[in-house]
Amino acid sequence: RTYEHSTLVWKHVKTIGAEGTNTGQFKHPIGAAVHPIDGRIFISDERNHRVQVFDRAGDFVSTFGSFGSGPACLSDPMGIAFMPNKNAIVVCEYNSCRIHLFDENGGNLR
């Protein structure tokens, strides 16, 4: 038997963000999800209590969520994933033990 082996070589393309609280900056980025159609990158920014959105080139687009316990407020968001069949983003919180559903623009669905 003959097996062909291909080695993937990864190269650094771009660093997104730096430490801080301004848009495009992070305080403990812990989760990431890539939009299945347009390639936008959604990052759960745990200690800034928000989700930040970047285009496929890594440039800042928008942010949603803020600290709190009300609807669309986040307290240490961690896990993030897409539900393509619902056009929704699922965000799991650490401190308040909640799971949020947002639309693709950050609007609260629940």
Strand residues in the chain grouped as ranges (E): 29-34, 41-45, 50-54, 60-64, 77-83, 88-93, 99-103
Pick 4 or 55 by higher pLDDT: 55
pLDDT in tens, 49-97: 999 999 999 999 999 999 988 888 999 999 999 987 778 899 999 888 8
- The pTM score is 0.86
Cα gap 80→92, rounded to integer Å: 6
Q: In what order do the strands lie in the sheet with 50-54?
A: 29-34, 41-45, 50-54, 60-64
Pick 88 or 44 by higher pLDDT: 44
Distance of CA 93 to the CA centre of its chain: 13
